[in-house]
Structure 1
Amino acid sequence: MDFSGKIIAVLTPKSGVAKATGNEWKAQEYVIENHDQYPKKMCFEVFGAEKIEQFNIQMGEELNVSFDIDARQWNDRWFNSIRAWKVERVAAGATMGAPAQGAPVPPPFPTAAPEFTPGDVKDDLPF
């Protein structure tokens, strides 16, 4: 799945040690907001120090985030995780919602109301 928008929050990094293997881990969460008429926000996670460094996500950047959704159970409750696996920067100058090249462009709206002469008016109203 993909989600495009602007990074509006960079949350505090998390780290720890896996109980099963004893390996250290690091995760970073970000909030992205799309540019729809009614904007939606999504909090996603980047897992692993090397991925965090590779993606190098900064506040205010326009990104396209590819992610997977998974759920896990803990103490009889279920939790969703949205984990990014690819991050692409949106090209500078690209505008969201602009027509694609080659797409037909509708004609502009008229700038002034058409002019009528008194001879054009026909009073056919019954009252």
Structure 2
Amino acid sequence: MAYTLSGKVKLIQDPQTFNSGFTKREMVVIVEDGKYPQEINLEFVQDKVSLLDNLQPGQDVTVTFDIRGREYNGRYFNNLQAWKVETGSSDDSYMNQEPPAFDNNVPEVSFDDDIPF
């Protein structure tokens, strides 16, 4: 199941390559969430590492990712594994929606002026 989040890039880590040949690169995105913004760490692995090459801190992005979980020595770990990044403001999506239809057939309501309070 895919999830998305939108925010500003805070930082992009350098790629890490391990002895096994596995490569990953992490990015932190600041997501406005009420009073306290959240700093979300996302990882890009293998061929998806290159998606971060043209990004800069401060850019608005929408990231699509999967949640991955695993157990190691009785402890459980979760990762947000990203696989798609779109740049630009994501809050403009409402601009492409049609406004709700206006109903001209609304019945007229009359109010009694003899309200006791």
* Of 14, 24, 29, the match for 2:26: 29
Per the alignment, residue 11 of structure 2 pairs with 9
Give 1:11 deviation, angstroms: 2.6
* Of 26, 49, 71, the match for 1:52: 49
How many angstroms apart in 1 are the aligned matches of 2:87 and 2:93? 17
Per the alignment, residue 104 of structure 2 pairs with none
How many angstroms apart in 1 are the aligned matches of 2:95 and 2:10? 26
Give 1:66 deviation, angstroms: 0.4
Q: TM-score, normalised by structure 1?
A: 0.63
Contact 2:62 2:90 in 1 (8 A): no
2:98 paired with 1:100: no
Q: TM-score, normalised by structure 2?
A: 0.67
Give 1:51 deviation, angstroms: 1.9
How many angstroms apart in 2 are the aligned matches of 1:44 and 1:31? 6
Aligned alpha-carbon RMSD (Å): 2.3
Aligned residues: 95
- AA of the residue aligned to 1:79: F
CA pair 52-37 structure 1, distance change in 2 beyond 3 A: same
Deviations 1:86-127 (A, max 9, x none): 11112xxx47379635548xxxxxxxxxxxxxxxxxxxxxxx
CA pair 71-100 structure 1, distance change in 2 beyond 3 A: same
Per the alignment, residue 73 of structure 1 pairs with 71
**Runs ≥4 in structure 1, deviation > 6 angstroms?**
none
How many angstroms apart in 2 are the aligned matches of 1:87 and 1:9? 14
Give 1:77 deviation, angstroms: 0.7
